Structures are given as structure tokens and as C-alpha cells.
Structure 1
Amino acid sequence: MPGTRAQEVGRKDLGTPHQDLHSAQGALRGEHPGRSRNPVIKVVDLAWLEFEKPDLDRAEVFARDFGFAIAARTEGELWMRGTFAGSPCMVIRKGRASRFIGPVFKAADQADLDRLARVTGSSVREADVPGGGRAVGLLDPSGFPVRVVHCGEDLPALPEQRPRLLNTGTDQRRVNAMQRPPREPSRIQRLGHVVLETRVFRRALDWYLDTLGMIVSDFLFLDGQRDRGPTMAFIRCDRGRQPADHHTLAMHLGPGTGYVHSAYQVTDLDSIAAGGEYLAERGYQRSWGIGRHIQGSQLFDYWRDPDRFMLEHFADGDLFSCDVEPGWAPMSAGGLAQWGPPATRDFLGTNASPAKLREVMRALRGDNELDPARLLGLMKAMNS
């Protein structure tokens, strides 16, 4: 949605005009800058995500079907990885119930861990990761355990799914050869991002910017409530001039506090589509897809695992360097994709249930950033 003339003038008055690279609107005077002036450290990526589940055998079957390789397996732990060299993507530990524990981020070096521990009053401890390493444990304002790790040894690269060679217009590079992508799991390359819901959006946002040095790529705001600030942020790692994923972490205001989904990069659209057919044949539930996002531009396809956690295959995402300023856009279900089927109620989390109603009532009675006006605005956004 283009900005008004007054918004354009306000943008120029800021002295840092929005570059219009990824959003029709930039910040207005006095709005959140999307970065901290003096962060404690600057994490360089997500390392892995931590879960608990009662049935590791069932979790491993889905992991292989979704496209993970297994980095390590014990009686009490399952470590999954992608084909890229580096750290694992996910660990699932045996527990009584299925639950998300929290994210683990990568520090640039050991000195960053030492500084983080000193400033936050924490300690540096051994990290229980294949190959070894050290970590600092923190708690974000939403109550999520967050760890920052420096791994001692990277996992080696694994064989890749090769991207399809495409004939496009007059650029005809494939001759006397057919396209036959195999019906097999999409081979995961790496962990891309995690999305979290929180009742204390502004406090959590500032914590990740101030503590971990992350920066905002795009803000979303509720219709008619922009003056109250954003309700969703797509946040990337600040690697300076080295490009980083459009978002490594995304957060939105809501009545719940928890995991929304996580996303894993694969080679290309054929890998997404053929891997999706493989999952469908084995009875897994597609939540939404296939399509292309607006914020981040990724090709996407969302699936539910047997424990109802949502995972995304993605390819062809945006990469931003540190000089790209945050974009601002209205929050809406229709604004989530450039093309593809309409966002499903399952993906949006708008399926009515007694548990959802109790969650909303608890949030409205609690000390947080959700009030009736915000709730009504969120409901309107998810139906527009």
C-alpha cells in the first residue's frame, strides 16, 4: 500500500530515507528504529531448535520423511541436521509431553559468549551438541529459554539435491534432456527461521535487538493502530555487509506464548513440490501452500508433524545486508503471499476451540500488551 504525500515527506525528514527495496512504506518520525544502538553482542545465525517429545521413534520417521538427515541418536536424544556443513538443525529430547523448549543462536566467537555472560550475569557452560561447544543460557521476556552457543566442531557437508536446470525464454540451457524430479523427501539444507507468538511483543522485540544485536527487516501493524506501534516483526542477524536471511526470527503479538512454526531451506521449487507429494502420500497434513511470501519472498509449503508442530519447506528467500532499513506494512491474512492458495485457518491459528477461548481470556486478564482493541484488530487482520 503506497504511502501518502505526508508520509513521504516525513520519511525524508528522518535523514535516512527508506530505500523502497522491499516495502512501499518506511518508518515515520518517532517510530521504532528496528535496531539497537549498542547491543551486547551480534549473533550470526540460528544454531538449532530444542523440543521434547515422548516418542522419538515416531519423531525420527517424520524427520526422515520431511527431509532431515540424522546427526546423532541416543535413547534420550535425536539430533537432526541438513546437508550444509555447520551445526545441527534441531534436537528432540525424550519427555513426557510434546513441547517446544526454545531457540539456540550462534555466537561469532568465544569472546562474545564471555561478554554476554558478563553483562547478563550468566555463566558459560559446556553445550550438549555433537562435536562439542560452549553456551550461555538466558530467558527472554516471553519466558522462552534462549541459548547462545559457540560450537567446537562443525558437522561436514552431505550430498545435495541438485537444482533443476531450467529453460527460460531464450535462455535454453537444457537440450536433449528431460525434467524428472524424483518423488522423494525434500533434502533439507539448513534451518532458516523460527516464528514465535508472544503477549509482550514490544518487550521481547527490544530484548532480542538489545541483547543479541538482531535488526528488523519488516514491521507489520494493525489497521488503524499504527500509532500504537507494530504487532509483528521479521528480524534478521546483523552481519554487516555480508547478506543475511530476511528473517531468522519472526515474532507477533497474540493471546498465546509459544512456537508458531520453523522453516528449513531446500534446493528449489521442484524440491518443495516433489517433497510435498512424498509427504502427502504418507498421510501427513499440509497446513498451507505452495505459494510465495511477500515479506521475505520465499517459496513456501507448510506441513504438520504427528505432534501438530508446523514446519515449512522454503527456497529462494531474500538476503539483506545491514544497510537495508525496516519496511512497514499493514497486517492481514491476504498480505502474507504474492500468489498461492488463501491462507488456511489452520495456518493462521484461527480455528475456534475451548482451549483457544481460555487462552484469550487469560491474556486479556493478564499484565501484557494485549487489550480488547488489539485483540479485535488481530481478529480483523486474520480475516482480511
Structure 2
Amino acid sequence: MSDHHDPHTGLHSEQGALAGEHPGRVSDPIVKVHDLAWLEFEKPDLTKAELFAHAFGFTTSVRTVDELHLRGTDLGAPCVLIRRGRRSAFVGPAFRAADSTDVVKLADATGRKAAKLPESLGGLAVDLVDPSGLRVRVVSDTHELAAQPAQEPLTFNFGHAAVRANAAQRPVREPARVQRLGHVVWQTTKYRETLDWYLRHLGLIVSDFLYYPGQRERGPVMSFIRCDRGATPTDHHTLALALGPANRYVHSAYQVADLDSLAAGGEYLREHGYHHSWGIGRHIQGSQIFDYWRDPDGFMVEHFSDGDLFDNALDPGWAPMKASGLAQWGPPATKDFLGIKPGPQALRELRTVVNALRQDNEFDFERLRGLLKVATS
């Protein structure tokens, strides 16, 4: 018998909540959104943004002097909207409501006004602001872009189950064709307040909670949150929230057909000089096969495939947060992915931590010790 210690021991979150811990949902939310619709950014150079987007696997659905809409192959709205701005910034997510009645209901409950979206998108929207200051848009009845030809998954011979004969595997080294937007990850200094806001206003439910090792009694510091569509399974997480020293975008994720399209697409990005952050591997929470890249403005984006789908019958899992717990297999998480890469980025992060500790929020010295322990685990 080997005495090798498995670093994943105890990190899978099939373990449930203890008495008195957060239930991961509310009983009577204002509405229940159905999915993410799109993400909105501002960038000064739309040409550079579009070149990367095509290499990453998007196609352009709208291009003007001041606006760029990027889509996947699935039927529906564009995945990403980019407007020309003086600096690069994440503006916020847009969630899709079941119908316009829910948009109006949410507007009435929050004292906001529902308004028509531009004709290029169509439909109705209400703009909210979460406790961290992020603009959150909820939309309905937007125009649907027709589906485009998708990348076909390869046919696999699994073990002795041989279904492919007299045919070789030769995946083309080309951009992975993005199918759809999967999720966005947001960091906040007001994690618990922000979490409860999303559960209450948008009817989201928690799939998994993470807590700092040795600090479970203080509550979770990260949650993977899905849409509640009853018995219809949805992505393990549409939104992930994490406690941290600043309110900021962490990354967004886009589904591709399979591992080969993800890997060949990554080689295409590498050959064209784009910055690889971390991967390829398979996550624990959500189970996705992942590969992380940075766009020319430094925003982290993820290709993923084969993610978990849950209906509303599953209660949240609980697990300690560790860097070794980010993947079931794959290379160790990089310093770039963890945000601790030496250089200007690390100095900015240090200043951010110092400023956060001076303010009244959830990120205190004990939480900082927990975060440092995670980064070095």
C-alpha cells in the first residue's frame, strides 16, 4: 500500500452544511432568472479586441465605430458586448429573465424603471446595482441570433468500446468555436451581503460553498451559484462570488465542444502570441475541463467543456478552499491565475490589500491570513 497523501482528500464538496450554516437559497425570491444573457465591457481599442475575440472563437454579430457584439454558435443573444471607452473596464453582467413580467416585477420591487434596449438588441431591461457596486442588468424578449454551424465533437474509442474504425483523429489547429457564455466570476469585499442580494433578487441558488481552512465557523468565502429552473438542470454555476480585497471582475467562461477543440484552440492562441494563464485541467467544483487565457487588455477568459448540470433538488456542498483544490488533474495553478505573479500586478495587489484592511468590510486580517494560506497551499 502506498502512503502517498492525496492533496484532494476532503476537497470534494459532496459534504453538506452543518447546523446553522447558510442554506444557499431563499424561500421567496423576487424573480428567478433563467440564465446569463451577456457580459458588457468598455475598451479603447475595438480592433485589437476583435482580433483576439476571433482567435478565441467568437464571431462578430455587430461592429460599428463605437460598439462590438461577439457571439457564439448557439441560438440566442451575443455573449459579449464591448463599447469604446477611455479605459478597459468590466461594466457588468446581463441576466435573462423568464419574460417581461419578471423584468417589470423586479423594477417595481427595487424602485427602478424598466426601459427598452437599443434596437440592435431588442427587448426590455432593468438596471440594478448589487451591494458591491456592480451594475446588474436583467433583460427579456431580446432578439435571437440564428444558430451557426458548431464544431462537431470527435468520435472516441473509450477503452474496449470501439466505435471508430478505419478513421484517424486529426483535429484541425484552429480557433475553438465558442458555443455560448457559461459563467462569470466576481470578487467583492462584501461577500455575504452580495451573495444574499443575488439569492433574494434573482432567485439564484448555491451549488457549492468554499471556506478558508480553519475558518469554517466564520462562514464561506466563495460560492458557486446556479439558476433555479426547477427540474430543468442548469450549469453548476452561472455566477461565482468570492471574498477579496477589491470589487472586481475575475474571469468569464465560454463553452466549446470538447477537449480536442479546447486544446487545438489553445495551440492556435499560443501560436498567435496570446498570453496563457493556466490549464489544461479539470476543476473539482463544476467538473469542467478548463483552459485560461488573458486578452490583450488583461481580462481573464476561459474555454470550458463537460461541466456539471444540476436541477434545484441538490443542496450546497461545502469544502475548504485550497490552491491544490482548484483542479482534479492538470498543472498546478499558476501565479498569474492566482494573482500573485511578481511584478507590477503584485504591487498593485499589495496596495489593494492595504486599502481594504483600512476600510469597514468583510476582508479583515483573519481573512487575509486565510487567503495567504490558500495561495501557498
Work out the CA distance in 2 between the residues paired with 1:197 and 1:326.
Answer: 20
**Match of 2:229, SS?**
coil
Work out the CA distance in 2 between the residues paired with 1:308 and 1:135.
Answer: 29
Answering whether residue 260 of structure 2 is matched by residue 260 of structure 1, we say no
2:147 to 157, 166, 171: 157
**What are the residue-to-residue correspondences of 1:10-159 with 2, within 5 Å?**
23-128=13-118, 130-159=120-149
Work out the CA distance in 2 between the residues paired with 1:24 and 1:83.
Answer: 34
1:382 Cα deviation from its structure 2 partner: 1.5
1:144 Cα deviation from its structure 2 partner: 0.3
1:354 Cα deviation from its structure 2 partner: 2.5
* Structure 2 residues not aligned, in runs of 5+: 1-7
List 4+ stretches of structure 1 deviating above 4 A.
Answer: none
CA RMSD in angstroms comes to: 1.3
Answering whether residue 279 of structure 2 is matched by residue 289 of structure 1, we say yes
Indicate if the aligned counterparts of 1:87 and 1:151 stay in contact, CA closer than 8 A.
no
**What are the residue-to-residue correspondences of 1:264-279 with 2, within 5 Å?**
264-279=254-269
Tell me the residue number matched to 1:9.
none
Work out the CA distance in 2 between the residues paired with 1:26 and 1:236.
Answer: 17
Tell me the residue number matched to 1:335.
325
Tell me the residue number matched to 2:183.
193
Indicate if the aligned counterparts of 2:60 and 2:68 stay in contact, CA closer than 8 A.
yes
Work out the CA distance in 2 between the residues paired with 1:223 and 1:24.
Answer: 17
Work out the CA distance in 2 between the residues paired with 1:354 and 1:314.
Answer: 30
Give deviations 1:291-333, integer Å, cap 9, x for gaps. Answer: 0000000000000110010000000000000000000000010
1:173 to 157, 163, 186: 163
Work out the CA distance in 2 between the residues paired with 1:216 and 1:129.
Answer: 35
Bigger shift: 339-348 or 130-139?
A: 130-139
Work out the CA distance in 2 between the residues paired with 1:184 and 1:250.
Answer: 30
* Structure 1 residues not aligned, in runs of 5+: 4-19
TM-score normalised by length of structure 1: 0.94
Give deviations 1:103-128, integer Å, cap 9, x for gaps. Answer: 11000001101100000000111123
Answering whether residue 314 of structure 2 is matched by residue 321 of structure 1, we say no
Answering whether residue 348 of structure 2 is matched by residue 355 of structure 1, we say yes
Work out the CA distance in 1 between the residues paired with 2:120 and 2:75.
Answer: 13
**What are the residue-to-residue correspondences of 1:360-375 with 2, within 5 Å?**
360-375=353-368
1:215 to 190, 193, 205: 205
- Aligned letter for 1:201? Y
Indicate if the aligned counterparts of 1:201 and 1:252 stay in contact, CA closer than 8 A.
yes
Bigger shift: 321-330 or 163-172?
A: 163-172
**Match of 2:281, SS?**
strand
1:155 Cα deviation from its structure 2 partner: 0.8
1:173 Cα deviation from its structure 2 partner: 1.0
- Aligned letter for 1:324? L
- Aligned letter for 2:115? R
1:95 Cα deviation from its structure 2 partner: 0.4
Indicate if the aligned counterparts of 1:131 and 1:155 stay in contact, CA closer than 8 A.
no
1:239 Cα deviation from its structure 2 partner: 0.5
